């Protein structure tokens, strides 16, 4: 099915917006419009990204600075449904649409996990690392310390 709507095109070079007719072919999965200079542009939905804010959709073209802003709610929902088919299990999109409270709980869970790992796992890993150091190497480090620091200290000979 083919959907058409009016949209605002930004060329990425200036801040001027141009009215364009945007066409979405959901079977072939492409967007098509004609620029103000008369150049037809057609892109697969796999070559674009989008974000929705304030009942508007901003469509960005990968590797290009131009973008389109759409305000038609039906067109937006149709395009989003195509994107959802494209990325049904995209965890990023799911996380973005979560509520603030959920984000806060996730952040607290991650922070708690880091603290728990630091408290319980770091000593175990440190002990394993110490056990990997050969005794001869440990003795050599001790000798180097004695040569560098202990020999420079004056010893009170009264005792």
Q: Are residues 81 and 20 in the same domain?
A: yes
pLDDT of residue 31: 80
Rounded to an integer, what distance in angstroms lies between the CA atom of residue 64 and that of residue 12?
8
Q: Are residues 123 and 73 in the same domain?
A: no
Last residue of a domain, one of 40, 60, 88: 88
Structural domain span for residue 141: 100-150
In a domain, 156, yes or no: no
Q: What is the pLDDT along the chain (159 residues), one digit of tens a residue?
A: 788 888 888 888 888 888 888 888 777 777 888 776 777 777 777 777 788 888 888 888 776 778 889 988 888 888 777 776 555 456 676 777 788 999 999 999 999 999 999 999 999 999 998 888 888 998 998 888 888 887 777 766 665
**Residue 39, CA atoms < 13 Å, CB-side half-sphere:** 6
pLDDT of residue 116: 95
Instruction: Supply the CATH number for residue 15's domain.
Output: 2.30.29.30
Q: Are residues 8 and 75 in the same domain?
A: yes
3-state secondary structure of 88: coil
The number of folded domains in the chain is 2
- Kindly write down the DSSP assignment for every residue of 32-48, as one continuous string: EEE-TTS-EEEEEGGGE
pLDDT of residue 90: 62
């Amino acid at each position: 099915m083919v959907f058409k709507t009016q949209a605002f095109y930004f060329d990425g070079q200036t801040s001027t917006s141009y009215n364009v007719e945007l066409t979405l072919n959901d079977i072939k999965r492409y967007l098509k419009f004609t620029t103000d200079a008369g150049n037809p542009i057609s892109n697969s939905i796999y070559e674009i990204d989008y974000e929705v804010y304030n009942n508007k959709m901003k469509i960005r073209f990968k590797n290009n600075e131009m973008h389109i802003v759409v305000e038609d709610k039906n067109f937006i929902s149709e395009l989003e449904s195509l994107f959802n088919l494209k990325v049904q299990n995209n965890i990023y999109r799911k996380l973005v649409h979560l509520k603030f409270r959920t984000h806060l709980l996730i952040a607290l869970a991650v922070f708690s996990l880091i603290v728990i790992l630091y408290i319980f796992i770091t000593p175990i890993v440190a002990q394993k690392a110490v056990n990997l150091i050969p005794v001869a190497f440990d003795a050599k480090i001790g000798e180097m310390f004695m040569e560098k620091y202990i020999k420079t200290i004056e010893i009170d000979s009264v005792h």
